[in-house]
Structure 1
Amino acid sequence: MSQATRPSDLDGIDLSDLDFWGRPLSERHEAFARLRLHPPVFFDEVDMGPVPAGPGYYALVRHADVVEASRTPSVFASEPSAVSIPDMPQEFNEFFGSMINLDDPRHARMRRIVSRGFTPRMLARLEDGVQRIAEEIVDELLEKGPCDFVTEVAARLPLVVICEMMGIPESHRAMVFENSNVVLAGADPEYLGRDPDVAVHRLLTAGGELAGLLSELAGRRREQPTDDLTSALVNANIDGESLTDQEIGSFFILLAVAGNETTRNAISHGLKLLTLHPGQRELWWSDFEAHAATAVEEIVRHASPVTWMRRTVTRDHEMNGRLYRAGDKVVLYYASANRDETVFTDPDRFDVTRSPNPHVGFGGPGPHFCLGAHLARREITVMFRELHRRVPGIRSTGRPQRLLSDFVNGIKSLPCAF
């Protein structure tokens, strides 16, 4: 569907326009509801300074299309990039080209090796650690009093879990936090500035520092392995295959960014949702364990921390009455699929008992479903359980300061009181 033939009721909707992503969430959801009536809609790419404008992309906004594209990686490929709509320079792939940007057999190889670090023993240790860290966070919250919920609670849990999991010393955690913010800054000038060349420099610097930290740690763990995930990764050998230092570094960036930022945003959105919907909070709090599983899934659906992923069509393919040509770019809008009224009854309603809830907040089904989904669910559950147990009246007390990004539905700060 070209710009010239676009229906008039889509006037004013341009997913490539940064201003669109600065609109209130309610306006964005309403725009996606209109887009779902006319799929697929084609959007032009914009010039990003050092990165020239590409040929444009189709927005996949319906749940069925996102699911089908996710299940058909032979047609909808993650290479050359799943996390950027433009084709980025090669130096970006050095830092940001982890398995999320790979297709089989390279994706399967890396995921097979990485999965060795997520053994039942490792996961059991992680779960014990999540509980301990959540308790420590609430201890300090009670001492501190009203504060910024994002920095004092939501951001700390996944950051500490990931750093402990990888064996990163406490002295480096502030650097990991700051650089992961930069990597997922979208277009937010607080982190990247307003000059495109400065933004690229900051992104590459952040990626280089994170990769360098893991390269140094990996070298030490080869000589003196411990029981952390870094040791498991550097010493994993499956059928003669092991990870290179560059692959370990890029995987850590994926873990630090995807595992830290997305979980923290789910927790932040969760507090805001429970504040806006006191009846749902009362229902969940009345029997926490009975509603925990469905409540966590509903927070992830409602928040959709990761807004989209890109795919590239490998061969001509018809889907939902549309013929896609080899080389076409398509963007899977999880945030829209999670509000599809043909799948979710009253999709804008926040319902902690919603079941079934086939959301795609952890990615669609298929080989790229989030490897850390189990850990993310655990972290969100434990954090809210600890808040329910010890700070049941916690609530947000002001408007969230939102990240200016089309990729992450991020909250930078959220005042809270109890």
Structure 2
Amino acid sequence: MSKRDYYEVLGLSKDAGERDIKKAYKRMAMKYHPDRTKGDKALEDKFKEVSEAYEVLNDSQKRAAYDQFGHDGVDPNRAGAGGFGGGADFGDIFGDVFGDIFGGGRRGGSRGPQRGADLRYNMELSLEEAVRGVSKEIQIPTLVHCEQCKGTGAKSGSKPKTCPTCHGHGQVQMRQGFFAVQQACPTCHGKGEIISDPCPKCHGEGRYERSKTLSVKIPAGVDTGDRIRLSGEGEAGEKGAPAGDLYVQVNVKEHPIFTRDENNLYCEVPISFTQAALGGEIEVPTIDGRVKLKVPAETQTGRMLRIRGKGVKSVRSSVVGDLICKVVIETPVSLNEEQRNLLRQLEESLGGQSSKSSKKHKPRSEGFLDGVKKFFDDLTK
């Protein structure tokens, strides 16, 4: 029986890219894999066909030969006539594509000493520390190289031995029909070596746990969510392999006065209604101290007043944000009778509650009342 076109098998056009080929194979291999088809011979043959097509189209040389000569170009029996031969190891193909799911993939020899793990440290900062920058000492528990055995794990004067089960590869292969599964060697647990006489200090691990103190320089302008990377300050690697990195994760605590939005700072500034009406200068706080702020006459509550350059300097540029003050007009409390009378006199001088002249002095209130009246008039129509 003649073979189907490999592009047709995977449902691809002839100009498909590597990513498209891998995605198509992954989708179809999951559909026809023997673990899902439960012994159905026709579907098992379909899986073999899909895997064979992928084995050719995913290899640039084989694909070029197939595009030029068709199936003859990749026929193992015609290797001398331009074919590539060798056949397909479907277990390796499946592992190469699905290694991220099943932990498989192609492996050549021992995995070798592994780089140390990265560590994370959560650091809380006050807003002042984040804005100005600060140096802090931190203490972290981590794995360090054993000085006594120099990271080998073997007692001084002895050496690790090659694992007799995996012969130093760290992995063994189990076959189920044509499907191959690789797993860590049960004898050496993936290390490829056996230590018969372990180091007494690290108990054969080549590393041991110890707390170390580090000085961390926090640059000015950091904010919650920023990370600072300290290269090589993570866990020590296996058998002398490089150490991982330490990532310091920044979290800025809430401030009682200021809130931050990127490079700008915001705060609420209470003023009396006399100051709001007449205007004047008031003192407001900044991160660097107090400054004078000019309040325009007839200022309404909620108005935003900007002080340029009193925000936060960006950690990534020279841009400095602003301090934005929200005016909140404070109503006086605990008034005595004389003060109440003075306020009544002021109210009368402004035209009272319903006088037409009050529109001149209270445009927002009058505008609101006009809007309410129109709303109810529209309801009654």
TM-score in terms of structure 2 length? 0.21
Relative to total residues, which structure has the larger helix share, 1 or 2?
Answer: 1
Higher relative contact order, chain-length normalized (CA < 8 Å, sep 6+)? 1
Relative to total residues, which structure has the larger strand share, 1 or 2?
Answer: 2
